Structure formats: C-alpha cells, structure tokens
Amino acid sequence: MAIFFIFIFLPFLSAILVPFLYKYLNRLVHTGWFVLLAPLFILIYLLQYIPSIAAGETYQYTLSWIPTLGINIVTYVDGLSLLFGLLISGVGVLVIIYSIFYMSKTREALHQFYVYLLLFMGAMLGLVFSDHLLVLYGFWELTSVSSFLLIAYWYERKSSRQGALKAMLITVIGGFGMLAGFIMLIMMADTYSIREIIAQVDVIQNHALFIPAMLCILLGAFTKSAQFPFGIWLPDAMEAPTPVSAYLHSATMVKAGIYLVARTTPIFGGSSVWFWLVAGVGVITLLYGSLSALRQTDLKALLAYSTISQLGLIMSLLGVGSLAVYFGPGEKGSLFTVATFAALFHLFNHSTFKGSLFMVVGIIDHETGKRDIRYLSGLMQVLPVTFTIAMVGAFSMAGLPPFNGFLSKEMFFAAMTELTHVSAFGLDRLGLIFPVIAWIASVFTFVYCMIFVFKTFGGKFHPEKLTRKVHEASFGMLFAPIVLCLFVVLTFFFPNVLGKYILIPALTSVLPMMPISSTDLKISAWHGINTELLMTIGVVVLGFLLFRTAKRWIRLFRNYPQTLTLNHLFNKALPSMEKRAASLTNRYMTGSLRHYLSYIFSFFVMLLLGSLLLNYGLKFDFSNDASITLFDAGLVLVMLIAALTVLLTNHRVVAIVALGAVGYMVSMFFVIFRAPDLALTQMVVETVTTVLFLLCFYHLPKLKKDIERIPFKLSNLIISISVGLTVTLLALSANGHKLFEPITAFFERAYELAGAKNIVNAILVDFRGFDTMLEISVLTIAGLGVYVLIHQRSKRRKQDETE
C-alpha cells in the first residue's frame, strides 16, 4: 500500500534532489538522465497493474492527511486513472529523453526546468489517481502553478511571461469555479469521495444544486482543456520550451479537463444540459480550432490550435457518450457507449501523434532556427527521418490509414451520425448539426495537416533563407518521436490489444452502469463500405482540393481581422478592467479626510437607521424616565447655546472657549446626576484639554490665519443631522427596551466584597481593575508619544541647523 504512494510521490521526492544533482554532477552528466529514472520507475510500476485492472479489479489506498476533517489522500486505481497514469509516465519518459538532447547542458538552467517538470508530473499523477475531491483540487491547482512556471521558463522574454500569465489567469479562474462545483457536490452527497458520490447519484440528480455544480465543474474542465472560448491561453503557452509543449500542452495537462469530464460523467451524464454543453462546446471547439489553425504561420501555433481542435473532438465524443447514461443498458445505450470508447481511444491516439508532432517542430526549430512555414520548405531532403515522423503524425491527425487516427476518426463519425437517429434532448431537430460540423472541421483538419507536412518538407530547399547549416538531428532527439510513431502505427494494426487491456477498463470506469462486452467494442480497420468511410473519403477528396488551391483562399483566413479574435478581446479586456478599477478607486479614494468621514457617517446612518426601521426597533417608552428639573433644563439650554457658538462663530478662540464651556456644563451634569468622581475628573481634564487647544491655536501658521466661518455645505448638514437623529433615536429606543435588570446590585455590595465605600473607585481598581490597568498604559503611551514626536522634531531641526 505504501509503495503506491511512494511511486505517486516519486516526482516530488526526486524534485528535491534535482538541484543537488545539477550542482555537483551536471558538468559530467546531463541532469535529465537522473530525472528520467522517476517516470521510468512509475511507468514500470503502473504497467504491473494492467492485467489485474483489465480483469475488472480496482485498488484503493488511503494515506491520512487531515483525518479530523475527513481529508485524506485517497487514491483509486481503475481503468481510467490507469490510462492517464500510463500516458503521463510514458510520455514523461519520452519527453525527458527528448529534453536531454533538446535542452543545452551548459546554457540552460536545467535544475529549474526539471524541478518544474517533476512537480508537474507529480501533480498530474496525483490528480488522476485522487478519489478525494479536495485533494484532486489541490493537485489541479498544482498543475496550473507548475505549468505557469514552465511556460515562463525563459522568463527574460516578454512573450513568455505574458503567455504564462494568461494561462495562469484562465486556468486558475476555471480552477476556482471547479472548487465551487466540488463543494456543491460535497454538500449534496455529504462525502468527499468521488466513488461514493457516484453511488448516490439518484439523490444528487434531483438536488437544486445539481445544475450549478455541473456548470462550475464544466468551467474548470473547459478552461483547463482549452475549450471554446477559453482556449486562447494554449497558443500563447507555446512560448515554453518544446518538450514542455509536447508534454503539457498536448499529452497531459490539457487532458486534465477531459479526465474531469470523463470522471464526472456517471454523476452528470444523462442530463440534457450536460449533453448540450459538453458535446456542443466540444464540436464548436473542434471547428474553431481547425479554422484557426489554418491561419497560423508558426508551426507551434498551428499545433496549438490543432490541439484545441482535437480536444474539442474528444470532448464532443464524451458528450455524445453521456447519452449512454441517459438510455441505460440496452441497444441504444451501447451504441453511445461506443462514443465514449472512441473518446478514450482518440485520447490515447492524440497523445501519441501530437507528442511526436511537437517533438518534430522542436527538431526543426533546433536544426534550422526557424518555426515559421513561410521560411521553411524542402526539408524532406535534409531531414528525412524527421519528415517520416512528421508525416506519420500528421496523417494520423488527419485521419488517414494506416495510422491510429483513422480508426478513432471513423468511430467519431460513426458516433456523430448516430446522433441523427436520436429523439431525445431536441436532437430530432438539431441532430444533423453535429455530423455536419464534424465533417467540415475534419476537412479543415485534413488541410492543415497537409500544410504542416508539405509546406515545411515539400517543395524546394532554400538554405539561404535559414541562418544555420541544416543537418539531421541526433539519434537521441529522434528516439522519442520514433517511439511515439511506432505506437501510432502499431495501434492501427493491433488496436484490440490496447482496447482490451486499457481502454475497456477505462470505459467501465466512465460508464460503470453499462454492461460492456469486449466483442461489441472490437475496433476494426475495415468494416465495410458505410457512411463513416464515405465521409472520410469525402474529407480526403475535398481536403486535397482545398489544399491544392490553398494559395487562393488562405489569404481570406490570414487577412481575418485581428480585432475580431478572442485573443484580442482578452487582451483588450484586461487593461480596460484595470483602467476601470483604477478609475473607480480614484473616484472614491480622493485622499480627502472629509470625504472618508462622510462615507463612514453615511454608512453608519444607513446601517443603523435602516436596521432600526426594518426591524421595527423604534419603540419609545417614557414611563420609567425621571422628571425634568429646572436645573436640567437650564444646563441643557446653556450647552445648546455653547454648542451652537462652536458651530457658528468665526473666531477660533471663541470656539475653543465655547467648547470648554460645553465641557464644564457636562461636569455640572455629573454634579447634579450625583457623580462626584466624574465631575472632578471632567473638570480637570476639560481644563487641560482647553489649554492644549489654546496652545495649538497659538502655534497655527501665520499664513492664512485670517479666520473664516465653517463653509456651509448642504450634504454635510444632512449627514450631521441624520447622524444626530440616528443616535438620538437609538438612545431613546434603547432606553425604552430594558431587557433585564441592571447588575448594579452586585456593585452595591462593594463594602463587603472590596472593603470600599466608594463604589466607583471599587469598580475602577477592584472589580474591573484590568480596564484601569490598560487605561493607564494607554495614558503613558500617549505621553511617551508626545515626548517622542516633539523631541524627534526638535532634534531634526537642530540637525538642519548644524548642516
């Protein structure tokens, strides 16, 4: 059991070692050779699971993390996670071999590269094996972070940083959405485990949060898998080193969204929203990606858009496959089970051929120094092996025999045409859209695949356009793409081996409710003349014609205005958001204290008066009030006059003295309300503060000393009157609401408890001595503050004089 965790965390463990290996051994051996061991061990270890998983077994391992909160690292090995695990570790091995020859030992910061790469690999493994939703989310974010680091690997380039930032923003927004969806799922099912949630699917489907949770999770999946319209980060992520593009942006990370959709299909599948979103967005992405790929002149950008398009294909197949959940076991259901099977099959195929294609571009870039198809031509003569690999990969992508892309594309067409015979979800009217779009997109896919191969390798060789002397890449660089190409070809000839051992177990975990027999799902290269084959022939014929006439119409695409692209919108949206935010902040953060005070007071009034009125808190009860004496009335009158004087006078000294008068009146109030201690203190303190005010007045700057009245402002008047009104109303209604007896009875026992006849003093020093202790501390700190302020200033002044 522990062994499994050791293997899953092996990338993290070895990431710790990489900097040491780099520092001490890089001069002798390329660090990549050590790094290679981690995915190799994982691959070998995971291969052992194939027989037992194929026999229908699953494994679950638990590692305690935060057991009190029910958060544990639970890994679950079934067909789907094993398929992904094998892809991650297998392509990982090949990419690292490739990177050993691609990344220079001396010029590149290899320790950073491999640490990030290993972090990513570990995160991805953790993601696909997690059964715990929150742990899955943790690994999900870790893939976002490590891919951010990898995209910005050449951080001194501006475009790298921008690409990384864009990828980070979009995938993390999706990640947050996904987290929200996960939390809703957890709330609905009251468990963290995906398997237990799947078991409770009947409860969840009738829950009010079902659709919101689905939308949030799909947001996460679509952003990660670069679906329309979130795919814009993927082309910009091509600034990363090519091994990274090959690994992250073709074989692994972009399939995390696919994994998520496949994983949650048993929960959400069967709902019409799910079908339309997944299949619809997938098909739109397929078309959008293939059209955009045609516009590209940069080989990597072309491959990026083709990745988007192919991911859309897989996504749409998963959407169609979710119909199997709707129909349930039976003839109809098993027809759509084939769609899910095709999705998984194409997922595997895409990883193989797209990985090899990226590596091909890396080789071209490495050998010629150029990635732009306008500069490249006739490389067939100088790079024969690379050309073969590119041809195999691209023809497989285009869906030609004898490569594995042909098989999955046939199955794709079969699934799409099947949709026209469905009478659910409004498909009886709209079902035809799917095969038509799929077919058109496939034609364009064919065209860009041809462009990819024949614009770069066909035609005449022009060495004068290139800066370097071109020769075939070393065997080490060619090794990984050759292995991937072998898979491309072998899968075509022996698809059922792969199907039986890997894809069918994966299919059972995507559609656990379907009875799956391997005889139904036999992949055959030749299945008679049927619609799919005719469609493929149509694709090839029309695609070939379009390719031959490409010069005439491709300008249409290239001249498509930049301002209408999604990228442009995104690039416009960010600065305008920043500008809006800044202007909003500048509008209310004026720097004027008067404004801030008016905000504070308005809020105070709104909250207090509002809640008072809304909760019917305004109740007045004057029955317990004491009667008003002549003294009280007289004092209040004097205080009112003094307070008005403060407001209306146009002389500061008058205001200060009037304020002092108010203070003395307060102490008079203390006298007549029988609070001698307060009266004494108030008198002395009022004297001191008045003196200090006078001092401040004396030191006012001579300039502008001419005294003005307080300028009248209506808003100030309204705010101050409403504040006064609020406080008065609050005090009056609080006075009317005596919820319980006051606790003064306790303090009246002061003599027997504290030996003091003065209750006030007993409270101050005995009952509530803690407050007093802190108050004298405050006082002392204030005194020290005054001392420090004044002495610092006079010291500085003295320094200025001596200088």
Partner 1 sequence: MKPNNVILQTVTRVAVFIIFTFSIYLFMSGHHQPGGGFIGGLSTAAAIVLLYLSFGIEKVRENIPVDFKKLAAVGVFIAVGTGLVSIVYGQPFLTQTFGHVNLPIFGDTELASAMVFDTGVALAVIGTAVNIILSISEDR
Please name the residue that has the structure tokens 């969204």: 257
CB of 774 to partner 1, least distance (A): 9
Between 70 and 783, name the residue whose CB sits nearer to partner 1: 783
Between 720 and 758, name the residue whose CB sits nearer to partner 1: 758
Between 602 and 758, name the residue whose CB sits nearer to partner 1: 758
Which of the 8 DSSP states describes residue 72? E
CB of 635 to partner 1, least distance (A): 20
Nearest Cα to Cα of residue 178 among 233, 216, 133, 126:
216
CB of 681 to partner 1, least distance (A): 5
Separation of alpha carbons 219 and 525, rounded Å = 36
Between 534 and 680, name the residue whose CB sits nearer to partner 1: 680
Separation of alpha carbons 263 and 248, rounded Å = 20
Between 494 and 697, name the residue whose CB sits nearer to partner 1: 697
CB of 688 to partner 1, least distance (A): 7
CB of 747 to partner 1, least distance (A): 14
CB of 697 to partner 1, least distance (A): 13
Torsion angle of C-alpha atoms 322, 323, 327, 331, degrees rounded to 10? -100
CB of 775 to partner 1, least distance (A): 8
Q: Which positions lie near partner 1, rule CB under 8 A? A: 676-677, 680-681, 684-685, 688, 692, 695, 754-758, 760-762, 764-766, 769-770, 772-773, 776-777, 779-780, 782-784, 786-787, 790-791, 793-794
- For the residues of 514-546, what is the DSSP string, one character each? S---TTTT---S---S-HHHHHHHHHHHHHHHH
For residue 424, give the 3-state DSSP assignment.
coil
CB of 746 to partner 1, least distance (A): 15
For residue 511, the one-letter residue type is L
Between 613 and 696, name the residue whose CB sits nearer to partner 1: 696
- Contact indicator for 48, 126 with CB cutoff of 8 Å: no
Six-digit token string for 388: 């073969």
CB of 642 to partner 1, least distance (A): 23
Strands 59-66, 71-77: pairing is antiparallel
For residue 696, the one-letter residue type is C
Please name the residue that has the structure tokens 């002389």: 651
85 CA to centre of own chain: 23
Between 712 and 770, name the residue whose CB sits nearer to partner 1: 770
- Contact indicator for 410, 536 with CB cutoff of 8 Å: yes
Query: For the chain, how big is the Rg over CA atoms in Å?
Result: 38
For residue 602, the one-letter residue type is S
Separation of alpha carbons 30 and 34, rounded Å = 8
Six-digit token string for 101: 């020859």
- Contact indicator for 420, 516 with CB cutoff of 8 Å: no
Query: If 0-12 CB within 10 Å is exposed, 13-18 middle and 19+ buried, where does residue 16 land?
Result: exposed
Between 516 and 759, name the residue whose CB sits nearer to partner 1: 759
Please name the residue that has the structure tokens 């204290």: 593
Between 637 and 680, name the residue whose CB sits nearer to partner 1: 680
For residue 6, the one-letter residue type is I
Separation of alpha carbons 746 and 653, rounded Å = 46
Q: How many CA atoms lie within 13 Å of 734's alpha carbon, on the beta-carbon side?
A: 7
Between 436 and 685, name the residue whose CB sits nearer to partner 1: 685
CB of 600 to partner 1, least distance (A): 29
H-type helices in 649-675, by residue range?
A: 652-672
Please name the residue that has the structure tokens 């059991």: 1
CB of 636 to partner 1, least distance (A): 24
CB of 704 to partner 1, least distance (A): 22
Q: What is the 3-state secondary structure (H, E, C) of 15-61?
A: HHHHHHHHHHHCCCCCCHHHHCHHHHHHHHHHHCHHHHHHCCCCEEE
Between 57 and 677, name the residue whose CB sits nearer to partner 1: 677
For residue 687, the one-letter residue type is T
The helix (run of H) or strand (run of E) holding residue 458 is none
Between 526 and 770, name the residue whose CB sits nearer to partner 1: 770
- Contact indicator for 118, 167 with CB cutoff of 8 Å: no
Between 469 and 797, name the residue whose CB sits nearer to partner 1: 797
CB of 678 to partner 1, least distance (A): 9
CB of 756 to partner 1, least distance (A): 5
Between 645 and 758, name the residue whose CB sits nearer to partner 1: 758
At residue 529, φ and ψ (nearest 5 deg) are: -85, 115
CB of 782 to partner 1, least distance (A): 7
Region of 158 on the Ramachandran plot (φ > 0 left; ψ -120 to 50 alpha; else beta): alpha
CB of 763 to partner 1, least distance (A): 11
Q: How many CA atoms lie within 13 Å of 315's alpha carbon, on the beta-carbon side?
A: 36
CB of 737 to partner 1, least distance (A): 32
Sequence-distant (6+) residues with CB within 8 A of 671 are 679
Between 429 and 757, name the residue whose CB sits nearer to partner 1: 757
CB of 792 to partner 1, least distance (A): 11
Between 205 and 792, name the residue whose CB sits nearer to partner 1: 792
Separation of alpha carbons 217 and 258, rounded Å = 12
Between 616 and 770, name the residue whose CB sits nearer to partner 1: 770
Q: Residue 60's beta-bridge partner residues?
A: 76
Separation of alpha carbons 211 and 66, rounded Å = 30
- Cα three-residue angle 91-252-322, rounded to 5 degrees: 125
Between 275 and 670, name the residue whose CB sits nearer to partner 1: 670
- Contact indicator for 237, 163 with CB cutoff of 8 Å: yes
For residue 710, the one-letter residue type is I
